Amino acid sequence: MATKPKEQIEGASAAFSAHLAVPPITCERIHDLVDGVLQARCTKKKNHLEHCKGEESDCPCSGGGGGPAVTDLVVLIDRSGSMSTAATTVSNAAATGIAKAKEVCPSDLRVVWLAVDSNKPGTTAGPAGGWPGTNFTQSHEQYLTSIGVA
């Protein structure tokens, strides 16, 4: 019976590994190696805030001044037709996440809900800029115009 290519590769891998005194290459070993690399990368996070452990003045949730931290959050959604069936779900999920975040880490949170319109710049007019029935009530263009950005 002829040897299949997979069996040939496995046999060659085992022979090569034995020659180098290295454990055979298996899917499990590859997964372990990949997990090791990912774990090493994840331990080197930058700009990572520690979880709040109380009301100490150095807690990132308190802003360091005793009161809640002032935080601006922009929630942005694509206004293209492909999002029409997901807009309400995205809006509800984001609102739930924001409520949970405020519960865990109280802050003076200012949230702006915007939709990126698919029209040419300067053509979004009226309520067409947001998604009806969601928290996304205006386009990014409408918002920028409302704060004086040309």
pLDDT digits (tens, 9 = 90+) for 27-55: 777 778 777 777 776 666 555 556 555 55
This model's pTM is above 0.85: no
Map the chain to HEC letters: CCCCHHHHHHHHHHHHHHHHCCCCCCHHHHHHHHHHHHHHHHCCCCCCCCCCCCCCCCCCCCCCCCCCEEEEEEEEEECCHHHCCCHHHHHHHHHHHHHHHHHHCCEEEEEEEEEECCCCCCCCCHHHHCCCCCCCCEEHHHHHHHCCCC
Structural tokens at position 120: 């040419």
The strand pairing partners of 76, in sequence order, are 114
pLDDT tens, position by position, 6-21? 676 666 666 666 666 6
d(CA 126, CA 148): 17
